[in-house]
Copies of this chain bind each other. A is one copy, B any other.
Amino acid sequence: MSTLTSPKGGSPAPFPMEIQRDSDQPVYTQLADILRQQILAGIFQPGQKLPSEAMLVDTYNVSPMTVRRAINLLAAQGIISTAHGRGTFVKEVQLSNAAFYLQDLKELFNSEGTTVVKLIEARFLPADERVSRKLQIKPGVRAIYIRRLLTVEDQPAFYHRGYLIYDPTRPVVESEFQVTDLKGLFRGSGNPLIKSGELSLEATVLNEEEAGILQVPLHTPGMVLEHTFYDFRDKPVSWGWFVCTNQHLRLYTRVGFEQTYGTRDERIR
């Protein structure tokens, strides 16, 4: 079998360069892996053209559809790009391709055992101008104001404040402020009424109240993650924001080639 030594530090681990018909791994991911390795090895360099799909069909003895799936997979991973009628090309690494994923806050989502959500306050509050605008209710109408503290290993990490629509005909919403586990909190309102949400992330400097709650010095730099959730009638259900120090919110990501092999298939459009 033809192999290729791993490009990473000359480790002797060989990489199969032929389709293993009896493997557990699907043929299309095998082919994607082979092409990715060839790109990594410099056989196909950024900007250059890959073999045509018909060529790949012949070379690897697979059907056109299987070649397409491999190509689509690599395209979805941002490694290559296709141009109708021209060919398939290896992409150059671009900073602008980067994406930061909230789920990468492993500290929060993995260590669920040590993450505790504590309800500080929950009460009715007449909507001021800001709340009335965000929740699309009339000023003065009662909303539910909640304050929560998320602690990781007994250390304050996230301070969450928010307003919920108070609607006696929708008791599900009311149940939200009883949520004390992290999963429920990060699932929006913890019920299937949510159709969409808007999020924004920006830098801030902790004010006195926030610094006190999070037990850090005044004017510590931090991040604010603001969120608004909408129901299936596109009406706001809740508006709130998390405040934290950069000790607890630092987003990481990578561009270019990843060592982990994706499982996704279709390209998002």
Contact = CB atoms under 8 A, between A and B. Distances in A.
A18 interface: no
A170 to B, nearest CB: 15
A76 B268 contact: yes
For this chain, the copies found in one complex come to 2
A203 B204 contact: yes
Interface stretch (A51-59, A142-150, A216-224): A216-224
Interface stretch (A119-127, A129-137, A246-254): A246-254
Nearest to A242: B95
Interface of A is mostly: mixed
A213 interface: no
* Interface residue range, chain A: 35 or more
B198 A264 contact: no
A151 to B, nearest CB: 18
A171 interface: no
A171 to B, nearest CB: 17
Contact of A101 (B98, B200, B250): B98
A96 B254 CA distance: 18
Contact of A197 (B93, B222, B233): B93
B203 A249 contact: yes
A78 interface: yes
Contacts of A7: 232-234
Contacts of A268: 73, 76-78, 97, 99, 264, 266-267
Contact of A256 (B195, B256, B262): B195
Contacts of A49: none
A13 interface: no
Closest 6 CB pairs of A and B: A196-B256, A46-B192, A72-B266, A202-B246, A203-B246, A93-B194
Interface of A: 7-9, 29, 40, 42, 45-47, 65, 69, 72-73, 75-78, 81, 92-103, 105, 109, 186-188, 192, 194-205, 219, 221-223, 227, 229-230, 232-234, 245-246, 249-258, 262-269
Given A93-B197, A97-B268, A100-B102, 16 more contacts: A40-B195, A42-B232, A69-B266, A72-B265, A72-B266, A77-B269, A93-B187, A93-B195, A94-B187, A97-B102, A99-B268, A197-B254, A198-B252, A199-B254, A205-B205, A264-B269
